[in-house]
Amino acid sequence: MDFDGVNVAEAWAEAARAVPRERFVPAVALLGVLPGSPTSWIDRDLDPEGWWRAVRSNAAIAVQLDDGVLDIEDKPAAPFAVATSSCSAPSLVFSMLDLLSADKGDVVLEIGTGTGWTAGLLAARLGPDNVVSVEIDPAVAARARSNLRSVGLAPSVIVGDGALGHPERAPYDRVHVTCGVTRIPYEWVRQSKPGGVIVLPWMPGWQTGHVARLTVVDGVATGRFHGPSGFMLMRAQRPPEVPITGEPRESVSTLDPHDFASAPEGLALTIAGLLPDVRGRAAAHSDGTLHVAVRHGDSHALAVFPPDAPEADVTQRGPRDLWDELEDAVHRWNAWNRPGPDRFGLTVTPDGQYVWLDSPDTPVRT
């Protein structure tokens, strides 16, 4: 199948033909991952042409809402529902498979089976016996097995916590991760062969995520970033909702709002390195203002940049002065001559993980 604007590398073309995406998209699903719009629903029975356009598009298709609490077949009018399982956008699927560089004979551990499409692509190329896919949701795993059987494939689909990997089949040549992670479980490194490759969507919490390709040497995984990505977070790593308390503290900021509005990836990686586990997002509002929100635990900051104004109004609450910390990170990035994402990397050790600039020997730390 040809996807809109997607270049499928020759190495994966045969697998793409053998494992067509339509076998992994249910009759009723959601184009994209935002259930607020009624026009986002696709229905094979009511609108087969629209359903096929969605399947052929380069868009993610949500197949589960709120961990299955809401039945997606009912097309619930729930604007605050959250998509919790999807068939990923083809361009992202095939670009990550290219980065994985898996070849005949390689044994692959996949984290997050989802619809089973990526597990099927891996199984078609490497052989079903060489693919182990771990899915935390039993209902999602059952549907994935059914989808895979429909194309004549039966890789191992294990119900379990993907953060633990699957040590029974270790060591693996490759680890392919299809859910976002903030903290990379060391078990994935431990269960990789020397020279093994881990490809994952790293989502530290600032704006979008980043595809990382890590190579394992002497029990340490290190590598660089390969473009932005957006995935659903691993369930165990979803940030808890903690109430914000304390009196508001008002101030002003003279940061350049364009740095946030354009969301340069190099700035995002600087913030991720200096402010681990701090979440943030910039959003333009209909009145022309830009709102930048920052959150960590019971601390919160909000800056509102009026259009064409030299200063933003800032409100901070909680024990941390998050906006002050963010301003310091932006100043550091500017002092480094605003490095782009190609200069950053990530390293995972038994003691934790860190972002680095230019070399693993120069970590980005406060």
Catalytic positions are 88
Could you give phi then psi for residue 20, rounded to 5 degrees? -65, 140
Whole-number Cα distances in Å, 148 to 75, 110, 205: 25, 15, 33
Q: How far is CA 352 from the centre of its chain?
A: 19
The Cα-based distances of 225 to 90, 124, 236 in angstroms read 19, 27, 23
Going across the sheet that includes 352-357, the strands are 156-159, 131-135, 108-111, 172-177, 192-202, 209-217, 220-229, 344-349, 352-357
Contact 23, 150 (CB under 8 A): yes
Rounded Cα gap, residues 144 and 63, in angstroms: 11
List CB contacts of 317: < 8 A, sequence separation 6 or more: 244, 245, 246, 247, 248, 249, 299, 300, 301
Q: Is 168 within 8 Å of 191 (Cβ atoms)?
A: no
d(CA 237, CA 8): 32
**Partners of 180 in the β-ladder:** 233
Q: Are 17 and 1 in contact (CB under 8 A)?
A: yes
Smallest CA-to-CA distance from 176 within 117, 239, 263 is with 117
* HSE of 140, CA atoms in CB hemisphere, 13 A: 27
- For residues 221 and 212, the answer to whether their CB atoms sit within 8 Å is no
> Are 261 and 189 in contact, with CB atoms under 8 Å apart?
no
Helix axes 117-126, 138-150, angle to 10 degrees: 50
Cα torsion through 169, 171, 175, 178, rounded to 10 = 30
